[in-house]
Amino acid sequence: MTLPDAPGVRVTPNALLRALNTFAVDATAPWLVEVDDAARLADVLASAPLRGTTPLVLGGGSNVLFVASPDVPVLRLTGRDVRIIDDAAGSALLYADAGMEWHALVMASLDLGLHGLENLALIPGTVGAAPIQNIGAYGVEVREHIEAVHVFECATGDALRLSTGECDFGYRDSLFKRVPGRYIVTGVEFRLSRNDAAPVLGYAGLVEELASAGVKAPRARDVANAVIAIRRRKLPDPAVLGNAGSFFKNPIVPTDIADALACMHPALPQFHAGDGLRKLPAAWLIDSLGFKGLREGDAGIAPSHALVLVNHGEATGRQLFDVAMRVARTVRDRYGVVLEPEPRLIGATWDIV
């Protein structure tokens, strides 16, 4: 059976993907299939052109680098339903479809009087990508507020509701990221508070931003506004300068390695990351080697932030990848620390050890 181009399902052959990835690199998919209602996934995946394939699931394109064009069809879920499904004393359970823009969800939650996601304002991408990456910013990780993730299990065709524990979240990691192709995230449930009297303010720069705005007793929306202001000041707008936000993860190393680095580099900041572990700021490592503002043709590192790989216009995915590899190899050779990318790489393997 061939999938018809019907209401709620759009099928495009030889689809150009430049407008669907925030790096704005040229790539082409053999097919692009967009589906509004996840309930149709079983029929969609059983029909040509997706039948017998493992499609690349693409959300907002903000966590992917097309080093080469995909050789499989691309699937996008485009539903944007948001609703409260349980309202208890002091909290509520908010459901959002995978295709909902993440920042729009954060702002919608605030409009509903719900709090918890404000520190994650202005992160690019979709709701469906949030649990895959376990997105985090300004002292908060999304797993802290996820009650369940709705998925389609490709092998069985079953629609499942996975609890937070079943998602096996880690730092910028999850079951979905470690076993790509097993599940398609179709929606997420968030347990959010109706009490915003104690926002998370421990991240560096947040209190100062609020103070500069004259906010003495910050509420959730004040925190969101402060985060938005900081992100707009520090991070380039993908609509102006192609990027996927922070390209490199902050490396987590054993305490003995961190202590040795502290002896050799006293200015290197370190943060507790669990028993026997420390987190090192990748931005400091990269900036210390003079890479911030690097430009090779149209590929480079943002002048405003050392973690952000940027496309100044017509860089290819391969050129961006080569810059990222050069940075990571230099950090490894200088500090003995291996950097890993946050975005998913299509058409390349990160082989730095």
Active site residues: 172, 246, 342
With H, G, I as helix, E, B as strand and everything else as coil, classify residue 66.
strand
Rounded CA separation 94/163 (Å):
15
Q: Which helix (H) or strand (E) holds 227?
A: helix 220-234
Tokens of 276: 């026997």
**CA proximity to 257, closest of 328, 325, 327, 338:** 338
Burial classification of residue 272, based on how many CB atoms lie within 10 Å of its CB (0-12 exposed, 13-18 middle, 19 or more buried): exposed
Rounded CA separation 76/58 (Å):
5
**CA proximity to 341, closest of 353, 325, 330:** 325
| Residue that is written with structure tokens 């990691």 in the block | 173
CA-CA distances (angstroms) from residue 61 to 22, 52, 66, 79, 243?
6, 24, 10, 16, 10
Residue 224 contacts residue 201 (beta carbons within 8 Å): no
**CA proximity to 97, closest of 192, 165, 189:** 189
Compute φ and ψ for 219, nearest 5 degrees: -110, 180
DSSP string, 136-202: EETTEEGGGGEEEEEEEETTTTEEEEEETGGG--BTTB-HHHHSTTSEEEEEEEEEEES--SS----
Q: What is the 3-state secondary structure of 245-309? A: EECECCCEEEHHHHHHHHHHCCCCCCEECCCCEEECCHHHHHHHCCCCCCEECCEEECCCCCCEE
Neighbours of 220 (CB within 10 A): 26
